[in-house]
């Protein structure tokens, strides 16, 4: 049994609490949230203890692991404290909106021998992971082109967007991780264009809602990412990998497999899953199991802190390209 303390009792923390509780290999011992009523309610639901200070958790030797689901601006501090206290750490993405802070955090913790995993859940989606596996087994030869479609169902609230770090750091960062996961290479060049086509208010905060990116690797692999903040038919998440011997597509799963034919159209299916909680339900569970395995067996985590940092660097480069209109070359050697 891995003993967990959950930091953050908001929407995503609540989801993680349920996953921890349902696992036969993990136990939810503590819940912490700055808003104590939320912490207490969640702790009660899963027969855990609600605590008022993180120090109490860090000092408790029975706690093996932290699951960090607090607001983004607290991640780096909590990661550092936890790692230095010898706790295994699972932290929701992104590590921080500032790559500088992420690098500083890394400097502090890189010698800690604790498992750290970042919540890029899509690596564990049966469909995306299935594509990655079939590709790596050579089922369609050598990868040449990759197309990632990433469309959120609806605009996030204005307040959220103001602190989101922009579409690349907030949303497309998942797709940067997918790019790295599937190509197994680093992007050497990124080019990004964007438009405000959905929500004119974004202009005031210097953000865009519709983006198209091009990435290239050292070996010449090409990748297109298209993203939008609103998609009326649901959460649209697809990947297409074109190889020397064929093509793999990670298509959208649907809530059920009913199709309908009427006088208007044929073979229509239900709309897609509403959002990530529903679409990636299996992925969240598999992600947690993967972390628990790493903790139990002291094996490398994936995606690691460095994976999280690299996606961040790509988001910065994309932002830079969007603003400058120029192709941005990433020098990973630094």
Site residues (CB under 8 A) for a copy of itself, limited to 103-142: 126-127, 130-131, 134, 139-142
Give the pair of three-digit tokens for residue 50.
């609600």
CA torsion, points 308, 311, 312, 314, in degrees to nearest 10? 160
Which residue, 2 or 105, is less far from a copy of itself as judged by CB? 2
Which residue, 221 or 310, is less far from a copy of itself as judged by CB? 221
C-alpha 112/C-alpha 200 separation (Å) is 46
Q: Which of 117, 210, 301, 319 binds a copy of itself (CB under 8 A)?
A: 210
Which residue, 244 or 299, is less far from a copy of itself as judged by CB? 244
157 lies in the binding site for a copy of itself (CB under 8 A): no
- Of residues 169 through 188, those in contact with a copy of itself by CB under 8 A are none
191 lies in the binding site for a copy of itself (CB under 8 A): yes
Which residue, 22 or 306, is less far from a copy of itself as judged by CB? 22
Q: How wide is the angle at C-alpha 51 spanned by C-alphas 45 and 57, nearest 5°?
A: 115
* β-pair partners for 51: 32
325 lies in the binding site for a copy of itself (CB under 8 A): yes
Shortest distance, CB of residue 326 to a copy of itself, whole angstroms? 7
154 lies in the binding site for a copy of itself (CB under 8 A): no
162 lies in the binding site for a copy of itself (CB under 8 A): no
C-alpha 31/C-alpha 10 separation (Å) is 11
Q: Which of 1, 22, 203, 323 binds a copy of itself (CB under 8 A)?
A: 22
Shortest distance, CB of residue 26 to a copy of itself, whole angstroms? 13
Instruction: Name the helix (H) or strand (E) containing 191.
Output: strand 187-195
200 lies in the binding site for a copy of itself (CB under 8 A): no
Query: Which residues contact residue 333 at a Cβ distance below 8 angstroms, ignoring those fewer than 6 apart?
Result: none
* β-pair partners for 237: 150
Which residue, 60 or 185, is less far from a copy of itself as judged by CB? 185
Residue 33 DSSP code: -
Angle between helices 126-136 and 281-297 (to 10 degrees): 60
Shortest distance, CB of residue 300 to a copy of itself, whole angstroms? 25
195 lies in the binding site for a copy of itself (CB under 8 A): yes
Shortest distance, CB of residue 232 to a copy of itself, whole angstroms? 4
41 lies in the binding site for a copy of itself (CB under 8 A): no
The length of the chain, given as a count of residues: 334
286 lies in the binding site for a copy of itself (CB under 8 A): no
Q: How wide is the angle at C-alpha 213 spanned by C-alphas 12 and 164, nearest 5°?
A: 35
250 lies in the binding site for a copy of itself (CB under 8 A): yes
Q: Which of 103, 162, 224, 296 binds a copy of itself (CB under 8 A)?
A: 224
C-alpha 67/C-alpha 78 separation (Å) is 10
Q: Which of 103, 216, 285, 296 binds a copy of itself (CB under 8 A)?
A: 216
* β-pair partners for 91: 68, 118
C-alpha 218/C-alpha 330 separation (Å) is 11
Residue 36 DSSP code: H
CA torsion, points 196, 198, 199, 203, in degrees to nearest 10? 0
Residue 171 DSSP code: I
Q: Which of 232, 297, 331, 333 binds a copy of itself (CB under 8 A)?
A: 232
251 lies in the binding site for a copy of itself (CB under 8 A): yes
5 lies in the binding site for a copy of itself (CB under 8 A): no
Q: Which of 9, 102, 248, 314 binds a copy of itself (CB under 8 A)?
A: 248
- Of residues 252 through 271, those in contact with a copy of itself by CB under 8 A are 252-271
C-alpha 4/C-alpha 28 separation (Å) is 5
204 lies in the binding site for a copy of itself (CB under 8 A): no
Q: Are 320 and 329 in contact (CB under 8 A)?
A: no
């Amino acid at each position: 049994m891995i003993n967990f303390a959950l930091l953050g009792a908001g929407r995503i923390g609540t989801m993680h609490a349920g996953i921890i509780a349902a696992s036969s290999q993990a136990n939810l011992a503590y819940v912490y949230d700055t808003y104590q009523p939320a912490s207490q309610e969640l702790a009660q639901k899963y027969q855990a203890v609600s605590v008022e200070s993180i120090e109490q958790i860090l000092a408790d030797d029975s706690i093996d692991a932290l699951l960090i689901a607090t607001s983004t601006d607290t991640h780096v501090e909590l990661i550092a404290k936890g790692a230095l206290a010898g706790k295994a750490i699972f932290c929701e993405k992104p590590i921080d909106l500032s790559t500088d802070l992420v690098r500083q955090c890394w400097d502090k913790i890189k010698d800690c021998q604790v498992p750290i995993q970042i919540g890029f859940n899509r690596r564990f989606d049966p469909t995306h992971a299935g594509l990655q596996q079939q590709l790596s087994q050579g089922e369609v030869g050598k990868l040449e082109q990759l197309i990632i479609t990433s469309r959120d169902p609806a605009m996030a609230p204005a307040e959220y967007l103001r602190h989101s770090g922009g579409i690349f750091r907030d949303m497309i960062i998942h797709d940067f991780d997918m790019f790295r996961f599937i190509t197994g290479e680093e992007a050497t060049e990124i080019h990004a264009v964007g438009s405000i086509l959905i929500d004119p208010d974004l202009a005031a905060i210097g953000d865009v809602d519709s983006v198209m990116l091009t990435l290239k690797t050292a070996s010449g692999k090409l990748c297109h990412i298209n993203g939008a903040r609103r998609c009326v038919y649901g959460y649209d998440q697809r990947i297409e990998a074109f190889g020397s011997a064929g093509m793999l597509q990670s298509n959208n799963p649907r809530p059920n497999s009913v199709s309908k034919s009427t006088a208007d159209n044929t073979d229509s299916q239900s709309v897609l899953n509403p959002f990530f909680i529903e679409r990636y339900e299996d992925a969240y569970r598999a992600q947690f199991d993967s972390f628990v395995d790493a903790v139990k067996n002291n094996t490398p985590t994936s995606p690691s802190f460095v994976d999280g940092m690299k996606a961040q660097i790509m988001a910065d480069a994309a932002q830079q390209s969007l603003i400058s209109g120029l192709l941005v070359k990433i020098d990973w050697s630094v």
